[in-house]
Amino acid sequence: MAQALLQNDFKKSATDNMMVSVIIPTHKPNIKYFLRCFDSIKNQTFGFNNIEVIIVVHNTNEQFFNEINNLVKNYDNVKLLKLNNRKHSASSPRNYGMQFVTNKYVTFLDDDDALKENFIKDSLQYMRNNNVQFVSYARKNIRDDHNIVSIKYNELETIIDKEIVYNIDKNANIIPFEQAVFVTGKMFDFDFIKEHHISFNEDIQVFEDFLFVSEVIKHSKSVCVQPHVLGYYYHLNEDSIINNLNRTDADILNCVEGILNIIETIKTSQYLSKIELRELIAYVGVTMFSSTNISYSTRCKVMDLMKKYIKLLWIVDKNNMYAKNRSKMNYKIMETEITCPMLAYVISKTLKLLRINPVLLVSFFTNTFD
């Protein structure tokens, strides 16, 4: 059952300057990361008082809720909400937070990530001056020591140094996968989202971001990505890498079910490239390769579920945006994971016996063929 705690009854009314809302779902993160996240909004050049902040505390105890409340209770422009249900992804609190948005534009921020200081100001300026449904910016990893490290994507051959305008009425350029898949690092036209009744699918636990963004793209006339402009800092959580190694058979099958749901939902869209579908399929292979406890029988089930889609791994964009040599190596590994369950099982057990982290191995191949 959802419950809302209204800061000072939300006395601060919307002004001409308050045009954007930031939705932050949170589920008991390390408080220092949340502070970094919240500070990145307070430090926006647009002016913190001109920003509506909507924090949804999801499925956690009263102590953590009170900690967050103590941090934000003195800010009239902050809405602190409590949501308790049986959902286990960020989709549910994001949907709930959208019910409280009072502005024309909205952006989403994860509780351990951060916005670049001019993200909101630049995004609003672009959105107001151009008829687009969202604008998206580049992301950078940030480690626990606050150092910034560049992300090396699997498929991009060169750094794109200009904006890409995706215009349905003219020509549909291919949006780089890493720009299409994340809901964070984007500013959305919230009136457009409401008009088309777009929300997050709360039954999908993987790539729910991608499905949401895909729905926006499907209805949009024009969107813009700026892969050369940094806007979002993504927290590189070392614990998540360890958790990846311990995925269970049920985790893998849930992942595959979610991926297939997304593929079936978006594959008929004339505005989305098959390259995005290829990356979803590759993700299944990556997930299995980085999981050391998957049984042979589960691998066989995954092969049966995915075999009709495996040919999509070998689609290479004709405009040569994607690096062919590196793609061939990376996708060959992913294909083996999905189509050769016995070989993949033996490789997994060997890596575990030798205490070799498969996540680091994937990173090695990515960097070698960069």
What is the tens place of the pLDDT at every residue in 271-303?
Answer: 556 667 777 888 888 888 888 889 999 999 999
pLDDT at site 327: 53
Last residue of a domain, one of 192, 211, 236: 236
Strand partners, 23: 54, 108
- Please tell me whether residues 230 and 115 are part of one structural domain: yes
Q: Are residues 139 and 260 in the same domain?
A: no
Domain count, the chain: 2
Q: Tens digit of pLDDT for each residue in 308-363? A: 888 777 665 444 444 444 455 567 778 888 999 999 899 888 888 888 777 666 65
Measured distance CA(256)–CA(245) in Å, rounded: 17
Q: Are 65 and 107 in contact (CB under 8 A)?
A: no
Domain span at residue 134 reads 2-236
pLDDT bin (cut points 50, 70, 90) of residue 150 is very low
Q: At 272, list the tokens.
A: 């989305």
Per-residue model confidence as pLDDT tens digits over 84-114: 998 888 999 999 999 999 999 999 999 999 9
Name the domain boundary from 177, 212, 236: 236
Average pLDDT, the chain: 79
Q: Do 335 and 322 share a structural domain?
A: yes
| Cβ atoms < 10 Å from Cβ of 216 | 19
Residue where one domain finishes, among candidates 188, 203, 236: 236
- Give 295-321 pLDDT, tens digit per residue: 999 999 999 999 888 877 766 544 444
Q: What's the confidence (pLDDT) of residue 115?
A: 96
Task: Tell me the residue type at 13.
Answer: S
- Note the pLDDT of residue 121: 95
More confident residue, 16 or 188: 188
Phi first, then psi, for residue 187 (nearest 5°) are: -115, 125
CATH of the domain at 128: 3.90.550.10
The candidate with the shortest Cα–Cα distance to 134, out of 216, 252, 235, is 216
Instruction: Report yes or no: 182 and 151 within 8 Å, Cβ to Cβ.
Output: no
Separation of alpha carbons 321 and 155, rounded Å: 8
Q: Answer yes or no: are the C-beta atoms of 366 and 326 closer than 8 Å.
A: yes
Same domain, 247 and 324: yes
State whether 192 and 255 are in the same domain: no
